[in-house]
Amino acid sequence: MVLIRTRLSTRLACEYSRSARSPTNNAETIRVNKNTLKQKLNNGKSTIGPFVGLPSPGMVETMGWMGFDFVVIDCEHGPMDFETAEHMIRAAELSGTTAILRIGLNEQQHIQRYMDAGAAGVMIPLINNADDGKKVVDAVKYPPMGKRGAFAGRNARFGLQDMAEYIKESNEETFVSLQIETPEGIGNADEIIATDNADAIFLGPGDLSVNFGISGQTMSDKVVDSIQDLHERITAAGKHTGTLGVTAEQTLFWHERGIKWIVSSAPKFMQAGAADYLGAVKDPLGL
């Protein structure tokens, strides 16, 4: 009986292996993954998802299974290397959510490595002028929209997809977000917002509060008024506004003001859940 099972398993494995290797079985169905975040925003729908700043594919996957529209893998502040980021992108794909990467260095050779790893888009911080914004688009988009170097990586199924088709679909699907968070960026907001082929402008209330001299007061009148003013200008230009909504109350606050791309925080979810649990059990357990 064991011998029969072994032979059957071996035969099935061989048949599967031959099928998987056959280009004719795969090439006709290979396409760039659809960017559901971009689709939803372009259709006027609200979207929510967290920053994930810990090097954990499992956390990304959990956020996807929980039903979030996207995750922002935070490679600006988080300790992720390229390989870990790639695994986190895979976890997002597996659980049906869109992987956007926040990348701290606005350099083409740096950004395109994350794009080649499979990122559906980027959020680039410290955009202070039009040149900064154009550099991001150039790194994310292939010619003629940008200057990204051609490479048949994960999104091109390592060369199994037709290259011309892949480049066309990649330029259509990739999501570019420029982050304004400094007084210089605010002063040059109109030229940043006008950046060709940028999809969204993300407004960082944390850094805005620090630059305004009111560190941590992310819901102060000055921060809120600045975000609201910029949001109106972004909307008038036909682009999407993003901002931070760490709590449910903040998320609803910005939703009521017309912002449809709201980013929360996976570590904050974990902290809030742990705090509720500890608050409920510490006294009964005598801790």
Eight-class DSSP state of 149: P
Based on the number of CB atoms within 10 Å of its own CB, is 275 exposed (0-12), middle (13-18) or buried (19 or more)?
exposed
- Position 239: which residue type? K
Q: How far are the Cα atoms of 77, 177, 208, 212, 215 from residue 223, in angstroms, in the given order?
A: 22, 20, 7, 8, 10
Cis peptide bond prior to 284, omega within 30° of 0:
no
77 is catalytic: yes
Residue 239 corresponds to which tokens in the numbers above? 């682009």
- Whole-angstrom distance, CA of residue 204 vs CA of residue 127: 11
Q: Are strands 200-203 and 240-244 parallel, antiparallel or unpaired?
A: parallel
Catalytic residue among 77, 110, 231, 255: 77
- Whole-angstrom distance, CA of residue 16 vs CA of residue 13: 5
Q: Are strands 200-203 and 70-74 parallel, antiparallel or unpaired?
A: unpaired
Instruction: Report, as residue numbers or ranges, the catalytic residues.
Output: 77
